[in-house]
């Protein structure tokens, strides 16, 4: 059969890899377009020449010479032969050479087909990736907080030295395993798993996920977990960095502080209970006309006592939520002055503002005084509504205590009872303590409204800075 020369040439031209055909003397018979393009040469400079003499002998590479002169004569095919060489025309390159020998009739050697693939970029990227990974591992190992790197299937690629040391586990024991399988499965928490599953596909980091458990050889510990996708431009690897911050000591300090605050609050409120109880004891022998005064004193104590609950709930006891405080004062007034059967209701409308604890006392007492006045005097028929509201008004804070009762008909102070005058005195004192002023009354169709404006030394809820006293 004739040699299929045309067919070979067709194949050679259609293959994207650089191909070159040599005869048994290693003379170039043909090469494809990809070869000429890759090596910046032409058919004229190539065909009919000994391969080693091509391009001013730039192909005279010892490794290639070894392949063609020593290996190919004994083997029909060689695959994946890697040649690294600095070509004068195209620079440093890594070539992957596949060689196949065709046999002629009678078992004689025919042609040698060399497929040359330029894998320089791939090898370079691989080296770069390896260097990056080594760098990452070095960084991971130098960070004090334990951390692990996870694949997208949640198996561990590597763990930092800190992780291995703290949890008393080896790299071999963690690699390829899921976090939930480690130790005594302390990390097998559904909420954490749910969050971790979103880190890679949704690029949604985990911030401050707390886990408290007993860990082998460590005892009870609290860890704060943070996770984020490891991102590198041009890198499509899907990996996650999970960091474990041991916050056991911090949590203990926080809990101790809360426990101390609660203990102090408990003792103060017990002492206030004794005072309220003694007042109650006094009322047994007090003339009925004076009982109201004693009861008013009890509600004032009640208004102050509400603060201690709110302080223990606030962050580090630095500010008091005004709306929560008003709600507690309203409850205290309802239970002490009205009872569940009363037709007088107290409504709270407050913006989410906070007040410093120092001003919270006169503020609470002021609200208590104004609301008590409304309850006692606005509703002779025993039904109505008192509204306690606080809004921010420009650079001021506006407290309004309003009712839908009978209104102030007699404005002559001289006709007021002694207890009412005393109430007004208290209001004036508390307003002065707050550094505020009573705003002029608006014309009202029904009821009474008292507006008090304070200089704005309040911060909105969630504000970063606490208010200075």
Partner 1 sequence: MAVILVVEDDMMICMVAEMMMQDWGHETLSASDEEEALKFLRSPQPIDAMFTDIYLKDAVLGGCSLAHQAIALRPHLKVLYTTGNFLTDNMKALFVDGAQCLGKPYSQTQLHNSVVEMLAT
The residues of the shown chain that bind partner 1, judged by CB under 8 A, are 262, 265-270, 272-281, 283-284, 295, 298-299, 301-302, 305, 308-309, 312-313, 335-337, 339-340
SS3 (DSSP) at 101: strand
Least CB distance from residue 405 to partner 1, whole Å?
21
Nearer to partner 1, 218 or 338 (CB): 338
What is the secondary structure of 375-415 as a DSSP string? HHHS-TTSEEEEEEEEEEETTEEEEEEEE-SS------GGG
Edge to edge, what strands does the sheet with 383-393 contain?
Answer: 343-350, 383-393, 396-403, 448-455, 437-438
Cβ distance to partner 1 smaller for residue 279 or 439: 279
The nearest distance, CB 281 to partner 1, in angstroms, is 6
Burial class (CB within 10 angstroms; exposed 0-12, middle 13-18, buried 19+) of 248: middle
Sequence-distant (6+) residues with CB within 8 A of 116 are 17, 18, 19, 20, 35, 38, 95, 96, 97
In the chain, the N- to C-terminal Cα span, in Å, equals: 106
- For partner 1, give the closer residue by CB, 29 or 305: 305
- Spatial separation of the C-alpha atoms in residues 95 and 99, rounded to whole Å: 12
- For 113, phi then psi, to 5°, come to -100, 120
Residue 37 token pair: 């393009």
CB of 316 to partner 1, least distance (A): 15
What 3-state class would DSSP assign to 263?
helix
Q: At its nearest, how many Å lie between partner 1 and the CB of residue 339? A: 5
Closer residue to partner 1 in complex, CB, 296/388: 296
- Beta carbon of residue 264, minimum distance to partner 1 (angstroms, whole number): 10
Q: State the Cα–Cα distance between residues 97 and 38, nearest whole angstrom.
A: 14
To partner 1, the closest distance from the beta carbon of 168 in angstroms equals 34
Nearer to partner 1, 142 or 273 (CB): 273
Identify which of residues 161 and 251 has a Cβ nearer to partner 1 in the complex. Answer: 251
Closest approach of Cβ 392 to partner 1, in Å?
Answer: 27
H helical segments located in 15-87: 33-38, 54-57, 62-66
> Of 218 and 361, which CB lies nearer to partner 1 in the complex structure?
361
3 state SS of 421: helix
Least distance to partner 1, CB of residue 300, Å: 11
The answer to whether 370 touches 401, Cβ cutoff 8 Å, is yes
Cβ nearer to partner 1, comparing 74 with 284: 284
Instruction: For the CB of residue 283, give the shortest distance to partner 1 in the complex, in Å.
Output: 7
CB of 313 to partner 1, least distance (A): 6
Of 275 and 408, CB closest to partner 1: 275
Closest to 13 (Cα-Cα) out of 1, 21, 25: 21
- For partner 1, the closer of residues 273 and 343 by Cβ is 273
Tell me how far apart the alpha carbons of residues 319 and 359 are, in angstroms, rounded to a whole number: 10
Rounded CA gap, 228 and 158, in Å? 15
Strands across the sheet containing 219-230: 156-159, 147-151, 239-246, 219-230, 206-215
Q: Judged by CB, which is closer to partner 1: 218, or 297?
A: 297
Shortest Å distance, C-beta 336 to partner 1: 5
Report the SS3 class of residue 72: helix
C-alpha span between 379 and 404 (Å, rounded): 8
Task: Give the containing element (helix H, strand E) for 433.
Answer: helix 418-433
């Amino acid at each position: 059969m004739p040699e299929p020369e045309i067919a070979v040439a067709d194949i050679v031209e259609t293959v994207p890899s650089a191909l070159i055909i040599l005869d048994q003397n290693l003379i170039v018979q043909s090469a494809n377009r990809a070869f000429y393009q890759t090596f910046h040469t032409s058919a004229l400079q190539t065909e009919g020449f000994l391969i080693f003499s091509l391009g001013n002998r730039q192909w005279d590479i010892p490794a290639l010479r070894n392949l063609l002169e020593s290996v190919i004569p004994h083997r029909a095919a060689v695959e994946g032969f890697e040649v690294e060489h600095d070509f004068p025309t195209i620079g440093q390159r890594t070539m992957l050479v596949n060689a196949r020998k065709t046999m002629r009739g009678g078992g004689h050697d025919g042609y040698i087909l060399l497929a040359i693939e330029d894998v320089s970029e791939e090898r370079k990227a691989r080296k770069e990736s390896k260097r990056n990974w080594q760098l990452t591992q070095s960084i991971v190992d130098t960070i004090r907080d334990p951390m692990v790197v996870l694949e997208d299937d949640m198996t561990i690629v590597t763990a930092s030295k800190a992780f291995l040391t703290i949890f008393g586990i080896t790299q071999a024991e963690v690699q390829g395993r899921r976090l939930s399988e480690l130790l005594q499965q302390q990390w097998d928490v559904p909420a954490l798993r749910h969050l971790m599953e979103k880190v890679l596909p949704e690029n949604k980091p985990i911030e401050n996920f707390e886990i408290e458990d007993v860990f082998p050889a460590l005892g009870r510990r609290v860890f704060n977990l943070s996770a984020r996708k490891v991102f590198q431009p041009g890198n499509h690897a899907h990996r996650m960095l999970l960091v474990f911050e041991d916050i056991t000591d911090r949590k203990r300090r926080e809990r101790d502080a809360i426990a101390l605050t609660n203990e102090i609050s408990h003792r103060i409120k017990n002492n206030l209970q004794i005072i309220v109880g003694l007042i109650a004891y006094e009322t047994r022998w007090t003339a009925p006309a004076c009982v109201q005064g004693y009861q008013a004193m009890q509600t004032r104590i009640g208004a102050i006592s509400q603060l201690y609950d709110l302080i223990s709930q606030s962050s580090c006891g630095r500010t008091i939520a005004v709306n929560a405080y008003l709600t507690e004062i309203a409850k205290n007034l309802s239970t002490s002055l009205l009872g569940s059967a009363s037709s007088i209701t107290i409504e709270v409308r407050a913006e989410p503002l906070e007040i410093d604890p120092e001003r919270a006392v006169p503020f609470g007492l002021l609200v208590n005084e104004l609301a008590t006045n409304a309850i006692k005097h606005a509703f002779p028929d025993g039904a109505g509504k008192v509204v306690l509201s606080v809004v921010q008004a420009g650079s001021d804070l506006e407290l309004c205590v309003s009712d839908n009762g009978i209104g102030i008909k007699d404005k002559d102070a001289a006709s007021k009872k002694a207890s009412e005058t005393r109430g007004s005195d208290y209001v004036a004192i508390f307003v002065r303590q707050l550094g505020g002023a009573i705003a002029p009354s608006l014309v009202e169709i029904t009821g009474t409204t008292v507006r008090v404006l304070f200089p704005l030394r309040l911060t909105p809820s969630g504000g970063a800075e606490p208010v200075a006293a």
